[in-house]
Amino acid sequence: MKLDPRTWRFRRNDSSKPSKPSKLSKLSKRSKASNTDKAASAAPTISRSDLIRESLEGVGARPSRLLITLAGTVLGIASLVATIGFAQTAGGQIAQQFDALSATRVTVEPGKAKAAGGKERATARLPWDAVDRVAGLAGVEHAALYAKLDSVKNVTTVQVNDPSAASKAAPPVVAASPELLETVAGHIGAGRFFDAGHDERGDRVVVLGKNAAERLGVNRVTGQPAIFIEERAYTVIGILDKVGTRNTLLDSVIVPVNTARGELALSTVNSLDIRIAVGAGEVVARQAPIALDPNAPDAYKVSAPSSANALREGVEADVNVLFLAIGIVALIGGGIGIASVTLMSVTERRGEIGLRRALGARTRDIAGQFMIESVTTGVLGGLMGVVVGLFALIGVCLVQQWTPVLAPWAAPLGVAVGALVGLAAGSYPALKAARIEPVDALRDA
Q: pLDDT: is 148 or 400 the higher one?
A: 148
Could you tell me the CA-to-CA distances from 373 to 57, 77, 341, 414, 427 in Å, in that order?
9, 19, 11, 18, 11
Confidence of residue 145 (pLDDT cuts 50, 70, 90): very high
Could you tell me the CA-to-CA distances from 439 to 101, 355, 430, 444 in Å, in that order?
80, 9, 19, 9
pLDDT of res. 144: 93
Q: pLDDT: is 5 or 79 the higher one?
A: 79
Alpha-carbon distance 304 to 185, whole Å? 17
Alpha-carbon distance 94 to 308, whole Å? 8
CB atoms < 10 A from the CB of 146, how many?
A: 23
Between 59-68, 127-136, 329-338, the lowest mean confidence (pLDDT) is in 59-68
Q: pLDDT: is 435 or 42 the higher one?
A: 435
pLDDT of res. 181: 93
Contact 262, 202 (CB under 8 A): yes
- pLDDT tens, residue by residue, 354-377: 777 777 778 888 888 778 888 888
Look at residue 441 and tell me whether its pLDDT is greater than 70.
no
pLDDT of res. 55: 64
pLDDT of res. 189: 92
Confidence of residue 251 (pLDDT cuts 50, 70, 90): very high
What's the average model confidence in pLDDT over 86-95?
Answer: 68
Q: pLDDT: is 56 or 78 the higher one?
A: 78
pLDDT of res. 205: 95
pLDDT > 90: percent of the chain: 24
Look at residue 81 and tell me whether its pLDDT is greater than 80.
yes
pLDDT of res. 117: 66
pTM above 0.85, yes or no: no
- pLDDT tens, residue by residue, 254-271: 999 999 999 998 988 999
Hey, where are the domains in the chain?
Answer: 48-97+310-444, 105-141+278-304, 150-265
Q: pLDDT: is 226 or 403 the higher one?
A: 226
- pLDDT tens, residue by residue, 219-233: 888 888 999 998 899
pLDDT of res. 10: 41
pLDDT of res. 155: 87
Q: Which residues contact 44 (CB under 8 A, 6 or more apart)?
A: 359, 360, 361
What is the tally of helices (H) and strands (E) in the chain? 15, 15
Closest CA to 155 of 172, 130, 178: 172
